[in-house]
Amino acid sequence: MRIGQILSQMANWTHHEVEEILYEQTGTRQRFGDIAVALGYCDADQVRQASVVQLADRKQKVDLQRIGIDAQALSFLPYSLARRFHAIPIRISEDQLIVATDMPADHPGREILQNRIAQPVRFVHADAQQVREAIDRYYAPLCAGG
């Protein structure tokens, strides 16, 4: 489901409000959620929540180079476990942590991570190389800082 559909349902927007955001998007190439926040139709927390819903519904691989990583989510999984299990948290909400991994659905590492993370976990599949690169890129500043 597209982020606009999710936000529209969450915020109960009118057809006119959605059309206004889409019109603005064609001229600026900004993200739908960024425009919705700028226009005051929702706040950044609602966009984050919609992003979690969108990722949780995915069946295909996520492209970590396109979606980016929520830095707050990283605090839920230590670097050592991220490296060991080829997994990186990408989004956090009040009720779940979205973790991208190249582990198959039946890999025992998923259960280990679920037991070690103090938050319900939803796994999404990602390319192994992208997972490694994301771990190196996003955890490096955290490891250097302490």
Q: Among residues 66, 58, 116, which one has the least CA distance to residue 87?
A: 116
Indicate the pLDDT class of residue 5, thresholds 50, 70 and 90: confident
Q: Tens digit of pLDDT for each residue in 48-62?
A: 888 877 776 666 688
Please say whether the beta carbons of 121 and 145 come within 8 A.
no
Taking the C-alpha atoms of 71, 130, 50 and 28 in order, what is their torsion angle to the nearest 10 degrees?
90
The residue-averaged pLDDT of 79-91 equals 94
Q: Tens digit of pLDDT for each residue in 14-69?
A: 889 999 999 998 888 888 999 999 999 999 888 888 887 777 666 668 899 888 88
In the predicted structure, residue 127 carries a pLDDT above the cut 90: yes
Percentage of the chain exceeding pLDDT 90: 46
pLDDT score for 145: 57
> Which tokens sit at 129?
């190389």
pLDDT score for 140: 79
* Gap between the Cα atoms of 15 and 125, Å rounded: 33
pLDDT score for 20: 92
Q: Tens digit of pLDDT for each residue in 94-116?
A: 778 999 999 988 899 999 999 99
pLDDT score for 58: 62
